[in-house]
Amino acid sequence: DCLKYYAYRWLIERLHYVLKSGCKVEELQLRQAKRLENAISVFMIIAWRILWTLHFSRINPSSTYENLISKEELTVLKMATLNQFKKEPGDNPSVGEIVYWIGRLGGFIGRASDGTPGVKSLWRGMVNPHYSQKENLQKNCQELESFLKFPFILPFFIVIR
């Protein structure tokens, strides 16, 4: 039993890494416990989604995108990458391609020797896309607001207003 729990240590470390460095929970500096609890609850979902996306892409890279994201999220991803890179996502990308494009939005260079995007480039691509991509989203797609589910969450990309 002890070894089983110890095996989860690395995953727990990565979760805390995403919460602290990616979601920047500590920088919120919330003083009331209830507010901090609410913020951590939301950011735990985001951190879980980032880690799950990375894990799923490493296990099933050739799986179809429907196993990872919705059609609306694919539309948002296409809009975010429009005219940004030499090769853009097609109509039926694999999970590996989806993670590659999210990583590219997060600063992953994608050279032949780079391997696959890691957790840091995924959180940057999902939570805080580079400014040029944010500007591109606003410039090329006015209907983006229709995808808004919550005041601060766009289905796949997190947009703090």
Separation CA 40–CA 104 (nearest Å): 27
Token pair, residue 91, equals 């109509």
In the numeric block, the tokens 């296409």 are attached to 78
Per-residue model confidence as pLDDT tens digits over 22-63: 777 888 888 888 888 888 888 888 888 888 889 999 999 999
Separation CA 152–CA 161 (nearest Å): 6
Report pTM.
Answer: 0.72
